[in-house]
Chains A and B, each alone.
Chain A
Amino acid sequence: MAKIEIEIDGKLVNARAGEMLIAVTDRESISVPRFCYHKKLSISANCRMCLVDVEGAPKPQPACSTPIADGMKIHTQNEKAKASQKAVMEFLLINHPLDCPICDQGGECELQDVAMDYGSDVSRFTEGKRIVADSDIGALIQTDMTRCIHCTRCVRFGAEIAGIMEMGGTGRGEDMKIEPFLTEGIQSELSGNMIDVCPVGALTSKPFRYELRSWQMNSMSNIARHDLVGSNIYTQTYKGKVKRIVARDNDDTNETWISDRDRFSYEGLAHENRLLAPQIKVEGEWKEVEWNVALDFATRGLGNSVLNNHQSDQLGALASNTATLEEFHLLQKILRELGSENIDHRLNVKNLNSPIALDSNVKLVNLENMDHALIIGSYTRLEQPMVNHRLRKASLKGATVDVINAMEFDFNYSINSENIIAPNKVVATLAGVLKVVLESKQQELPDYLTSVKTDDVITELAEKLLAEGQSVIVLGEHVINNDSAASIANLITNIAKQTKSSTLNLSASGNSMAANLSGFVPGKGGLDVNAMLESELKAYILLDVYPHYDFHHSIKAIDALNKDGAFIISLNSFKDKDVANYSDVMLPISCFYETSGSHVNIEGEIQSFTASVSAPSDTKPAWKVLKVLADLLELPGFHYADSAQVTSEITHQSHKSHVHDENIDLTTKQGIQIIWQKSPYAVDALSRHAISLQATKIGQMNSASMNKATAKKLEMTQGDEYLGVPAIISETVANNCVFVNANRSTQAGGQS
């Protein structure tokens, strides 16, 4: 775009032709009041608050929708501009209730701020004001629609960003109101952003209602750790408690949006189920003790069970994906110093005989520019909302998206070809795609591909990847249930290489990238999690593990950990019945936002954060606990003053890239296959304890979906309990499989 010069309030500024005036004034920090304009939403120019005087134009012009031209002279502060801004302000306040003293937005309200500058202190409006009835739109957003100024930001957010138009403007004139159409409540996984975009107190946070004023809180930067993006957030705290979370802009990760999971999970921090004091088990009874007693008990236990007999190969360490980079590092370091390689975080992966090895080699921002995407085994919208947001943007720009899933999902963009197939057919399908790709490039076929069958669907999938333009292949989380996961990943690597596609590995979530970076996987001679549980180790250190949710083979895991004789140290932030059953020591650790550390996102970006609040009661950050444990075990090299020293040790150590097995095995098992997915708001202990999130429709997901034919084989009818969750009969599921989505413990773990 051509560079031009315009004059604003007597000052010459450079700009690009065609930019909207408000974009220029914002860049130049010239303040222009606005309500409906939002930099990430389309322009609707309906509030008229941004009127400015453009020389030569007879009437004042809205800055948000006036494209600039060379030589334009603009006055944002002259009498004409001021008079129109004042007039608009007066109109906007005609029906506004002016109930700031009881409004949650008070103190952070754009209307309040602008009215301070442009409003008059006396209202000339003596007629009755209108009142708008509120609708209950769910557990997360509180409405107070009498305050609404009809800017339609929330409406545009739904239609443009969330991809589900849920709010709309009904009626007209005096009767116009903003409301949802159906009364089921807002369904979007990004709905909380409407609170951020609403310039007034019409949409506010329900869990935060009447809690505090914005100026009473401290805002601290932090990173959300529920997914692979690591959305940037502000934690707003008061007297040592996290009271609210809002988005922090970062165009490389989350732009200005965050998922509801990132926004509302903090509620779990104050849940009564927090583990608050160290406990040791003496003769089968739990006893609360001082930290030093508990740690002493733990070290002695380790000594007696394994170390004193030089059986460190009988010690294992497992961690869930919520740990920080530093915690993963310290725990694996302890194990390796003690001489054990039994280290693993891939608790939810069904088959670990060979690991799922697939690089992610595309930046989030570049995802938007893809021409084609192939998604395999993922309900990206709910599992990785911010990744999905980028894919949606690509789709809106014209990218085609193909999916291979075991069930139809409600994507918020259009899908080109939706292939619903059972997990055991995925490997053959991808082999077919590779075959077509190789054939089209007239390359020799490896032996394993010669007898692979292809069909029209497979050919089409391949052709899309071969076509001009940039493609990405996305491997999703459902693959962890697949026996052939490693082969699937290897096939994708090959297809990507041949078609010059990028790859994105979403098969693990939370902070699992950090686990990989710190080497939290078994080394030479070490056992993976499934092997550890089989071989009945004599001692374990478990970092924030909740067996019913975290292990794929949950029942087997609980049995194995409950076996007599194993000495188990558990570090947890929440209480758990099974943990209490099998552990010998329970150490209460701090949760999200209560500790410093780092998250590693899908791009490999290390995002460090400090604690926003101190750990409650007797809980301690896990990195400190692990450090002290290492000291008590008299291990060398654990002299850290803060977690940043741990981080720098990790970033300075050389990382050997994992050599992995490139084997591709196309044999699969027959029979009914179960895909077990935690529901999106049950991915970690914190979100499971966030009551408002749990009250939403997504939070309530609890079902075993299967088609009629499968139901018949299993002798199930709609509503019957299957593996602990109600069965739903739906033809959207591939034949011979059951898709279990649960927010509570099920018996699905480890089933075929």
Chain B
Amino acid sequence: MISNKAKKQIDIWVAKYPEGRQSSAVMEALKIVQAENDNSLTTEAIQAVADYLDMPGIAAAEVATFYENYNHKPVGKHTIRFCHNISCMLNGADDLIVYLEKKLGVKTGEVTKDSLINVKKVECLGACVGAPMFQIGDQYYENLTTDKIDEIVDGLRKKSK
């Protein structure tokens, strides 16, 4: 379930904690395993992480279900994390989300047919100054307009061809 490469990456984190406290590396381990499993975690994957770190499966599941960034359903290649908190909302985020949903033909939480993109509503990402905004991967996109959204989404589509 966990590749040798991933195990090596996890071991780096395990080494940072005192002996016998390997379970402290659970967050990173889940992240690493998620990354190599199409960005989502199955029950088996969580159990595998738990086994690798010698901790109860449920304890790993508690962490995996607590944080937003662990996915438990298949996601697209790109996740658009659209902020709908106060500043973005006041600047029209809700309408833009509807626009984006229409453009992609999916609702938030769903994945496009080509498995390329999914949209997730998130809370304030600390970029209120450029509201409305969303995040794809590590990249922030600010001061969004419908045009800008077209450009970004089309760009993603082109890249994947």
Q: Say yes or no for A339: interface residue by CB 8 A criterion.
A: no
The residue in chain B whose Cβ has the minimal distance to the Cβ of A173 is B66
Structural contact, B56 and A165, CB atoms closer than 8 A: yes
Q: Say yes or no for A750: interface residue by CB 8 A criterion.
A: no
Q: Say yes or no for B65: interface residue by CB 8 A criterion.
A: yes
Interface residues on A, range: 10 to 19
Q: Say yes or no for A2: interface residue by CB 8 A criterion.
A: no
Tell me the count of chain B residues lying within 8 A, CB to CB, of chain A.
11
Structural contact, B66 and A168, CB atoms closer than 8 A: no
Nearest CB of A to B155, in Å: 34
Structural contact, A181 and B66, CB atoms closer than 8 A: no
Nearest CB of A to B43, in Å: 8
15 intermolecular pairs with C-beta atoms under 8 Å apart: A159-B56, A166-B58, A168-B58, A168-B59, A168-B61, A169-B62, A170-B65, A171-B65, A171-B66, A172-B65, A172-B66, A180-B58, A181-B46, A181-B58, A182-B57
A-side contacts of B62, CB under 8 Å: 168-170
The residue in chain A whose Cβ has the minimal distance to the Cβ of B55 is A165
B-side contacts of A139, CB under 8 Å: none
Contacting residues of chain B (57-116) with chain A, CB-CB under 8 angstroms: 57-59, 61-62, 65-66
| Partner-B contacts on A (CB < 8 A) | 159, 164-172, 180-182
A-side contacts of B57, CB under 8 Å: 181-182
| Partner-A contacts on B (CB < 8 A) | 43, 46-47, 56-59, 61-62, 65-66
Nearest CB of B to A398, in Å: 13
A166 to B43, CA, bound (A): 15
A529 to B16, CA, bound (A): 63
B-side contacts of A165, CB under 8 Å: 56, 58-59
Nearest CB of A to B15, in Å: 22
A182 to B43, CA, bound (A): 8
Structural contact, B66 and A164, CB atoms closer than 8 A: no
Contact residues of B: prevailing secondary structure: helix
The residue in chain A whose Cβ has the minimal distance to the Cβ of B57 is A181
B-side contacts of A182, CB under 8 Å: 43, 47, 57
Nearest 8 interchain pairs by C-beta: A168-B58, A181-B58, A165-B56, A170-B65, A181-B57, A181-B61, A168-B62, A171-B65
A-side contacts of B59, CB under 8 Å: 165, 168
A459 to B57, CA, bound (A): 37
A-side contacts of B58, CB under 8 Å: 165-168, 170, 180-181
Nearest CB of A to B62, in Å: 5
The residue in chain A whose Cβ has the minimal distance to the Cβ of B61 is A181
A169 to B58, CA, bound (A): 8
Nearest CB of A to B120, in Å: 15
Structural contact, A164 and B65, CB atoms closer than 8 A: no
The residue in chain B whose Cβ has the minimal distance to the Cβ of A171 is B65
The residue in chain B whose Cβ has the minimal distance to the Cβ of A164 is B56
Sample of 6 more A-B contacts, CB < 8 Å, known A170-B66, A172-B65, A172-B66: A159-B56, A168-B59, A170-B58, A170-B61, A181-B43, A181-B46
B-side contacts of A172, CB under 8 Å: 65-66
The residue in chain B whose Cβ has the minimal distance to the Cβ of A155 is B58
A167 to B59, CA, bound (A): 9
A229 to B80, CA, bound (A): 61
B-side contacts of A166, CB under 8 Å: 56, 58
A170 to B46, CA, bound (A): 13
A167 to B61, CA, bound (A): 11
A-side contacts of B46, CB under 8 Å: 181
A159 to B61, CA, bound (A): 15
The residue in chain A whose Cβ has the minimal distance to the Cβ of B62 is A168
The residue in chain B whose Cβ has the minimal distance to the Cβ of A179 is B58
Nearest CB of B to A179, in Å: 8
Nearest CB of B to A132, in Å: 14
Nearest CB of B to A47, in Å: 18
A164 to B56, CA, bound (A): 8
A182 to B50, CA, bound (A): 13
A484 to B127, CA, bound (A): 77
The residue in chain B whose Cβ has the minimal distance to the Cβ of A177 is B65
Which of B47, B57, B62 has its CB near the most chain A CB atoms (within 10 A)?
A: B62
A-side contacts of B43, CB under 8 Å: 181-182
Nearest CB of A to B33, in Å: 16
Nearest CB of B to A462, in Å: 27
B-side contacts of A169, CB under 8 Å: 62
A159 to B66, CA, bound (A): 19
A159 to B56, CA, bound (A): 9
The residue in chain A whose Cβ has the minimal distance to the Cβ of B66 is A172
B-side contacts of A164, CB under 8 Å: 56
A171 to B56, CA, bound (A): 17
Nearest CB of B to A623, in Å: 47
B-side contacts of A180, CB under 8 Å: 58
A430 to B47, CA, bound (A): 40
Which of B46, B47, B65 has its CB near the most chain A CB atoms (within 10 A)?
A: B65
